[in-house]
């Protein structure tokens, strides 16, 4: 059964499932990059009128829509699409890595600490709101991250980034001076 949950972003809803949606962690897909996708479920979902972005995580999927479509018309379509997939398939929608997010900096001890704080302290909170945060780089005290899913374009994401993410990273990793969205 699929449950829905609102997010701080009014143009994004989180669809929760008892089934595993992604066996490979969190991945984001955007409408403008969908023509080369091999995954039919994601490709079809991105073709729904008004769907701009889809984020798949272990037990939820977030959909970000445009302003010209309402949730009343889109929500039942997404639920139906998910239910149809799981009626026909026993495996997760994402079973294998589509792209790599491995950074060349990941051998650096400071970067390892930053990624650990992002993974353990920040990502779970962001996931509750239907989003994700990805480490991009660390240079001269500045951490660059990418906000995904419901967090991408959310009115409160800049405040989350500066007050939440930046403060936590500065507290746990003394080398961090600031955090910026990439």
Topology annotation, domain 104-181:
GMP Synthetase; Chain A, domain 3 (3.30.300)
Architecture of domain 2-88: 2-Layer Sandwich (3.30)
pTM of full prediction above 0.85: no
63: left (phi over 0), alpha (psi -120 to 50) or beta: beta
Could you give the residue range(s) of every CATH 3.30.300.130 domain in the chain?
104-181
Question: What pLDDT was estimated at residue 107?
Answer: 57
Q: What is the pLDDT of residues 45-88, one digit of tens each?
A: 999 999 999 999 999 999 999 999 999 999 999 999 999 999 99
Angle between helix axes 40-47 and 71-88 (nearest 10 degrees) is: 160
Could you give the residue range(s) of every CATH 3.30.1370.70 domain in the chain?
2-88
CB 138 within 8 A of CB 104: no
**For each successive 10 residues of the chain (182 residues), what is the average pLDDT?**
91 94 91 88 95 93 94 95 94 73 62 90 83 90 87 72 84 91 82
Question: What pLDDT was estimated at residue 101?
Answer: 45
Question: What pLDDT was estimated at residue 97?
Answer: 60
Alpha helices in 2-139 (DSSP H): 40-47, 71-88, 109-117, 123-128
């Amino acid at each position: 059964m699929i449950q829905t949950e609102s997010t701080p972003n009014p143009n994004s809803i989180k669809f929760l499932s008892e089934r595993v949606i992604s066996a490979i962690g969190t991945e984001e897909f955007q409408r403008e990059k969908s023509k080369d996708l091999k995954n039919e479920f994601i490709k079809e979902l991105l073709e729904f009128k008004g769907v701009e972005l889809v984020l798949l995580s272990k037990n939820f999927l977030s959909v970000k829509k445009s302003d010209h479509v309402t949730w009343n018309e889109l929500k039942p379509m997404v639920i139906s699409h998910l239910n149809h997939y799981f009626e026909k398939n026993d495996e997760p929608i994402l079973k294998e890595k589509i792209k790599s997010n491995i950074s060349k900096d990941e051998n650096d001890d400071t970067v390892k600490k930053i990624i650990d704080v992002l993974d353990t302290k920040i990502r779970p909170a962001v996931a509750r709101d239907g989003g994700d945060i990805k480490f991009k780089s660390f240079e001269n005290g500045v951490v660059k991250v990418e906000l995904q899913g419901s967090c991408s374009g959310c009115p409160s994401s800049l405040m989350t980034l500066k007050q939440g993410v930046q403060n936590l990273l500065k507290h746990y990793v003394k080398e961090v001076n600031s955090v910026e969205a990439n």
